[in-house]
Structure 1
Amino acid sequence: MTSKTLHNQSTSGGDIVKYALALLLAAAGLFAFYWFDGQWPGGVRVLAVVAGLVAGALVFMTTVKGAETREFLSESRFELRKVVWPTRQETTRTMWVVIAVVILMSLLLAGMDLVIQAVVKWLLGNG
């Protein structure tokens, strides 16, 4: 959550047109990928999809929701700078603890499974 006040802005007609244009550009890239199958090399077709997605994203970023998205990403980047990342040694130690616990729990569950299986066989008279 942000400390800034969130004000609810209604969607304008221009934003709706931009949303439709962004979707249309992304769909056009996807359409080109399938339409030109066999005519264009695969790399060019993939570039058509990427170009459509990038163009659609650029159009989207000019809307109110796009501005909110840019602000959110900016705040997220700022918060990530505050994170104290573990050292390589801490990460390695934690990894070995996790591996040991997983092995221990799998052995415990396998043992419980064998006990339950033996009890069920005994109850059914098959053991």
Structure 2
Amino acid sequence: MTSNSLSTQSAGSADIIKYAAALLLVAAGVFAYYWFDGAWPAGVRALVVAAGLVLATVVFLGTKKGAQAREFLSESRFELRKVVWPTRQEATKTMWVVMAAVVIISLILAAFDWIIQLSVKALLGS
């Protein structure tokens, strides 16, 4: 958590225009993908969609919310550096514990299912 105070101001008119432009860029990329279905190869159409997404991201990052998103990602990256990742041996041991727990719980649920099945058959007289 950061010590930055959260502002409650709404987006300015410039930000709203940028949001609309970003949305239009994405929509234009998707529109071009379907509009040029027979004219352009699928790879080129996919690149047009990717270009629309990249341009929309660039436009979005110029807004107030974009700046907040950049700051959040920067802080997240900083926090990830603090994480102590398990060694391969620890991860393998944990995997085997999880696998054993899954097998045990599966057997318990199968036993409950069998008991309920026998109970229903006994009640119905089958």
| Aligned mates of 1:12, 1:3 — CA distance in 2 | 24
Stretches of structure 1 lacking an aligned partner (at least 5 in a row): none
Q: Deviations over 1:21-51 (max 9, x none)?
A: 0000111111110000011111000000000
State the secondary structure of the residue aligned to 1:111. helix
1:52, 1:10 → 2: CA distance?
26
Give the corresponding residue for 1:79. Answer: 79
Q: CA deviation at 1:8?
A: 2.1
Aligned to 1:8, the other structure's residue is in SS state coil
Give distance in 2, aligned partners of 1:26 and 1:59. 11
The residue type paired with residue 7 of structure 1 is S
C-alpha distance in structure 2 between counterparts of 1:121 and 1:96, whole Å: 37
- How big is each residue's C-alpha offset from its partner over 1:58-117, in whole Å with a ceiling of 9 and x where there is no partner? 000000000000000000100111111111000000001111110111111111111111
2:115 aligned partner, one-letter code = V
1:52 has 2:52 as partner: yes
Aligned-partner Cα distance in 1 for 2:8–2:122: 66
In structure 2, stretches of 5+ residues that fail to align are: none
* TM-score (structure 1 length as normaliser): 0.95
Q: Tell me, in whole angstroms, the C-alpha distance in 1 between the residues paired with 2:4 and 2:17.
A: 28
Cα displacement (A) at 1:123: 1.5
Identity of matched residues, %:
66
Corresponding residue of 2:19:
19
Q: CA RMSD in A?
A: 0.9
**Aligned position for 1:92:** 92
Cα deviation for residue 6 of structure 1 reads 1.5
What does 1:30-49 correspond to in 2, within 5 Å? 30-49=30-49
Question: Aligned pairs, how many?
Answer: 126
What amino acid is aligned across from residue 47 of structure 2 in structure 1? L
Give the CA deviation at 1:10. Answer: 2.4
Report the TM-score when normalising by structure 2: 0.96
